[in-house]
Amino acid sequence: MKRSLRRKLDARKRRTMKRIDKANWNGQSPMLTCPTVQYELAEKTRAVAAGGIGVAQQVVRQLGISESINHGCPVFKFHMPYSEADHVLNIAFNLFAGGTCLEHLELRRNDEAYLDALGAQRIPDPTTAGDFCRPFSEGPIPKLMEALHEPRLKVWQQLPDSFFELAIIEGDGTMVETCGEKKQGIGMNDKRQWGYHPLVMTLANTREVLYLENRAGNRPSHENASGYFDRSVSLCRKAGFRKIRLRGDTDFSQTKHLDRWHSDHVDFVFGMDAMPNLVDIAENLPDSAWNELKRKPKTATKPKKTRAKRPHVQRTIRRRKEIQKQDSGARVRRRIRRQPDRVQAGLSHGRVA
């Protein structure tokens, strides 16, 4: 960034902080007034809401991401006019600009400033983007993930040597709930939630996703995890990491792979279920074999001010309705008890035939 732009941004930030400071109140009340606003339409200057989209496109060009996608994940025989990278980056930039579905691409392709920031004459519409996603299956998706590792390695090589001391690869499964009833591949988990249960492999050092496999919501967390752990280990060794450590919860402690990882000089930290034999081994360990885990205190050094709890409105309304039902039921029972007395009195006076 230019120094002049940096000075302007710093000056604007100082003015804003000074303006919102309570000590600088000028006595204005009420605050929200109706100023005179004039709207003008510039002939040459255009603005875009996603201001960082141009910087993202420059990063794509510098790292050669488009070439890596086109070479590593070929889908088309001819590029007329869109290539594989055009479709992939079009969907990614749509999310970057605030879109949440393919239909929002129609807003992007009708934004002239957005197209100018990407240097594109036009971008694929939602229908064309959907047609590109349909041929993707279990084959092209791994190729696409592998193609993105080439520019990833270029970024890692620019980091200091201390970065390559230890690579922490973490595996986890997360539930992505969906409200759609016709989503292909969805499943219901034990909590009766419909959706997907993807497997996510991340580099904990930088919190970036290395591999991802989408699965149905009823699949276990450790399914196919060992294969993606092996791929992540190969990637980190190719990058030049000197030590590699795998990490996960109890679902990822697959005993049939532990010896293989240990012989391959890969460390791992997995949770283990408290099985009787393991509990017996842990209880018989000498004191010199373990150290007490000292956790950081949850509370900060300064006493945290807590707000008073608000009343539970739903619980109060439910109790009130339950009391009303009980009172109405008691009245009905009293009427039923009194009814036989009235019938007996009518019989004695000859009112009932």
Listed in sequence order, the residues at least 6 apart from 56 whose beta carbon sits closer than 8 Å to its beta carbon are: 93, 96
Same domain, yes or no: 231 and 179: yes
Alpha-carbon span 216 to 267, nearest angstrom: 30
pLDDT of residue 352: 47
In a domain, 17, yes or no: no
Residue 153 reports pLDDT greater than 90:
yes
Q: Could you write out the DSSP letters of every residue in 128-147?
A: HHHHHHTT--TTHHHHHHHH
pLDDT of residue 133: 87
Q: pLDDT (tens digit, 9 = 90+) per residue, 307-330?
A: 788 888 888 898 888 888 888 877
Residue 305 reports pLDDT greater than 80:
no
In a domain, 8, yes or no: no
Q: Which pLDDT band, with edges at 50, 70 and 90, does 136 fall under?
A: confident
Among 14-23, 146-155, 187-196, 305-314, where is mean pLDDT lowest? 305-314
Q: pLDDT (tens digit, 9 = 90+) per residue, 16-57?
A: 999 888 888 888 888 888 788 787 878 777 888 888 888 899
User: Is the pLDDT higher at 29 or at 120?
Assistant: 120
Q: pLDDT (tens digit, 9 = 90+) per residue, 171-183?
A: 999 899 988 888 8
Cα distances (Å, whole numbers) of residue 343 to 270, 331, 333, 337, 347: 78, 19, 16, 11, 6
pLDDT of residue 302: 63
In a domain, 325, yes or no: no
- CB 72: neighbour CB atoms within 10 A? 17
Same domain, yes or no: 145 and 173: no
Same domain, yes or no: 166 and 276: yes
In a domain, 300, yes or no: no
Indicate which CATH number applies to the domain containing 235.
3.90.350.10
- CB 124: neighbour CB atoms within 10 A? 21
Q: Which residue has the tokens 């390695």?
A: 153
Same domain, yes or no: 188 and 270: yes
Listed in sequence order, the residues at least 6 apart from 332 whose beta carbon sits closer than 8 Å to its beta carbon are: none
Last residue of a domain, one of 282, 310, 328: 282
Using alpha carbons, select from 59, 87, 228 the residue that is nearest to residue 151.
Answer: 59
Strands 176-177 and 194-196: antiparallel
Q: Which residue has the tokens 């595996």?
A: 171
Same domain, yes or no: 166 and 277: yes
Same domain, yes or no: 141 and 84: yes
pLDDT of residue 166: 95
Alpha-carbon span 148 to 231, nearest angstrom: 14
Same domain, yes or no: 180 and 100: no
Last residue of a domain, one of 94, 128, 150: 150
- CB 218: neighbour CB atoms within 10 A? 14
Same domain, yes or no: 174 and 137: no
Same domain, yes or no: 172 and 103: no
Q: Which residue has the tokens 């009391």?
A: 323
Same domain, yes or no: 185 and 264: yes
- CB 213: neighbour CB atoms within 10 A? 20
Most confident of 35-44, 276-285, 330-339: 276-285
In a domain, 140, yes or no: yes
> In which domain, by residue range, is 141 found?
51-150
Mean pLDDT of the chain: 86
Q: pLDDT (tens digit, 9 = 90+) per residue, 224-242?
A: 899 999 999 999 999 999 9
Q: Considering its fold, how many domains does the chain have in total?
A: 2
Query: What's the whole-model pTM score?
Result: 0.71
Element (H, E) at 20: helix 3-20
Same domain, yes or no: 167 and 113: no
Same domain, yes or no: 272 and 238: yes
